[in-house]
Structure 1
């Protein structure tokens, strides 16, 4: 799509409600409609905010908070139970530009009603927290457990007892899973939390066959200023060990966002290292990619510990022009341990790095080095990482389709200049999703290839 006015970008949004072994037999038509109704309601909320000029950060986090309040999804009120019968929540947020911390994540939460709002607050308060005399979350990006919940209280966020998060279907899923895995052992959590079964809950009992979302929920939103934000939240894996932390709060595994400057190919040789700020080196994250270029690293990339993607580049030439930028953001869902093993979202983002952007980072590369660097679209990168036969599936080895390893999907938005693409891919049989596509159409889907147009402007 093209921007409708100079200096502004057309807002776009995509959401997911989890990916996994979702099939038509285990998700009957009436339940499919329930999920689609929720997805479209949540999507409309986020899109309305964006159309009214709200920032990508506010739109994405507000959208995910609706997922957290909906018992259909594995986050917040509908989260899964861990092996001990408790609930431990995770969330993260990251923006392509505009904030000092760039990202924030929280985990092992037991009482925060909307974990995504805590992650957002940590990101926003980072504008002050990074100052020497500041308290709060200081310079930390990922905070967990009681300390994170203390911050939530300080920020005025709503806290709830564990019983708030209880839902009948998740509880029965938890009990059945433990009884299956621990057939010859006592199942203490089923006894300890038996009283919860008396809570008033409108959901009918779980039949043991209907699919219950196991994945993360997420939103990627692009605002009128060209900023893209990813927001992600989850309850984790059913019957996970207490204390387990997944990909959702892990930077680069379950989420990623960045922005960089695009150069014209003719400008490569005219750019020198003066483009880099004297006080901050910004490309430490690319060290593995350019490890084969020691001379470049020595001359051009004095790495420091304060790195964040590549959005901090200053002017590329002496001309008083505003260079075109490339930005992207991604949110993953599926088997979190597999996402962790391959740094799924960061890997996809790196694959989609345009050659022009990489060249702007490495001005002293030889012509042969420049031409050797390739770049693909984010759409193609997601296929390589999250599509059938991709990196995630390969990571499962011969356990694919047996253990749940490698299963998942990723959603994202990529912007090159003023051209924006809304993308997703998955290797599982289904992923709950809805989005405003590059033509402005409202789309919703559950199974592979079943995306339907709900509104065509």
Structure 2
């Protein structure tokens, strides 16, 4: 009897140890990764001061490390995306949140969206003027309403009901952005301006800049989330809304395929349904995320005349940063913990 009891005890201990070992191995093998962008366009080294380049890289690194720390500690991809984008929204360097560009009427109208790859739920907001961090409101729409997109006064009223931080519109004022508006109005053009330089939206659209920010993350549970936030176009009129808050155009996430966040000339990203198209190519044609992104950005988007880029990652943590412009502010930390920061198209 004692031998039998001892044997059972041995089996129990062995089983527990084996289970603990497998759990540790599973934890070790869990893949997580994150990638961000801060806009794509004619971003040339010759036009960038060393000080400005360092500042862009500093904020990009701060943002991507913020999200990575959440993932490393077992946090959700949704939390990582939201908190990472908050860093970019709070920086005047990027055309989102604090650094948003001005409309023709001298206002800052903000758009954002977020999507959960596990449930395929999504939330988006458009045209808000008093929401400090639009990505937070987009997530609230996803989680606390039965809708996908809210806009303008309705979205702001919803924000006030759900403890989303509101600010005086003056908070968004950045002098360089306002000067960009004045230059655009002088020429009666609309410009997709990223950093306040006078490059206008006309036949020479390839010289325009794009400043939308975005993030895609894969957490330890295998869940992918994607989010995008923007101030849109300098001198935009008539309540224009771009692709950033449009699910499938500027943002998309699906655990079975990938997560995507886009930046660029929004009208073309909407017409090409860029973010979803990459996922669909992976699902229906069996393409890798690298091949799907290249097909959509370098061929489909370019052929139609659109400029910009995307960031994305798949369920294995494979990262892509694909763009057809001279540069794209970007950063990532892969499944091995390797940090990459880029600005220009050429290798840095």
TM-score between the two structures when normalised by the length of structure 1? 0.65
Pick closer, same or farther for the CA change 1:166–1:4 going to 2, 3 Å: farther
How far, CA to CA, are the matches of 2:209 and 2:59 in structure 1? 13
1:381 is aligned to 2:292: yes
Q: Which structure 2 residues correspond to residues 311-350 of structure 1 after superposition, within 5 A?
A: 326-350=256-280
CA contact (8 A) 1:252 1:344 kept: yes
CA contact (8 A) 2:41 2:208 kept: no
Report the Cα offset of residue 450 of structure 1: 2.5
Q: 1:146 aligns with which of 142, 150, 153?
A: 153
Q: Which structure 2 residues correspond to residues 8-407 of structure 1 after superposition, within 5 A?
A: 9-98=30-119, 102-125=121-144, 137=145, 139-181=146-188, 208=198, 214-259=210-255, 326-353=256-283, 374-387=285-298, 390-396=299-305, 406-407=306-307
CA contact (8 A) 1:19 1:432 kept: yes
CA contact (8 A) 2:257 2:282 kept: no
Report the Cα offset of residue 9 of structure 1: 2.4
Give the unaligned 5+ runs of structure 2. 1-22, 190-194, 200-206
Report the Cα offset of residue 213 of structure 1: 5.5
How far, CA to CA, are the matches of 1:168 and 1:242 in structure 2? 23
Alignment RMSD: 2.1
How far, CA to CA, are the matches of 1:76 and 1:68 in structure 2? 4
How far, CA to CA, are the matches of 2:187 and 2:81 in structure 1? 38
Q: Cα deviations across residues 346-394 of structure 1 (Å, max 9, x unaligned)?
A: 11111111xxxx5xxxxxxxxxxxxxxx32101111111113xx21111
How far, CA to CA, are the matches of 2:141 and 2:168 in structure 1? 22
SS in 1 for 2:336: coil
Report the Cα offset of residue 34 of structure 1: 1.1
- Give structure 1 regions of 4+ aligned residues with deviation exceeding 4 angstroms: 205-209
Name 1:6's counterpart in structure 2.
Answer: 26
Q: Cα deviations across residues 169-211 of structure 1 (Å, max 9, x unaligned)?
A: 00001101110227xxxxxxxxxxxxxxxxxxxxxx96758x9
Q: Cα deviations across residues 23-70 of structure 1 (Å, max 9, x unaligned)?
A: 122223221111001100111111111111111001101110111110
Name 2:15's counterpart in structure 1.
Answer: none
Higher helix residue share: 2
Give the unaligned 5+ runs of structure 1. 126-136, 183-204, 260-325, 359-373, 397-405, 452-457
SS in 1 for 2:318: strand
How far, CA to CA, are the matches of 1:214 and 1:426 in structure 2? 12
Name 1:302's counterpart in structure 2.
Answer: none
Report the Cα offset of residue 439 of structure 1: 3.3
How far, CA to CA, are the matches of 2:196 and 2:233 in structure 1? 18
Pick closer, same or farther for the CA change 1:32–1:162 going to 2, 3 Å: same
Report the Cα offset of residue 212 of structure 1: 9.4
Name 2:202's counterpart in structure 1.
Answer: none
Name 2:18's counterpart in structure 1.
Answer: none
How far, CA to CA, are the matches of 2:87 and 2:165 in structure 1? 14
Name 1:410's counterpart in structure 2.
Answer: 310
Pick closer, same or farther for the CA change 1:224–1:104 going to 2, 3 Å: same
CA contact (8 A) 1:46 1:62 kept: yes
How far, CA to CA, are the matches of 1:72 and 1:426 in structure 2? 20
Aligned length: 313
Q: 1:440 aligns with which of 323, 337, 344?
A: 337
How far, CA to CA, are the matches of 2:36 and 2:330 in structure 1? 6
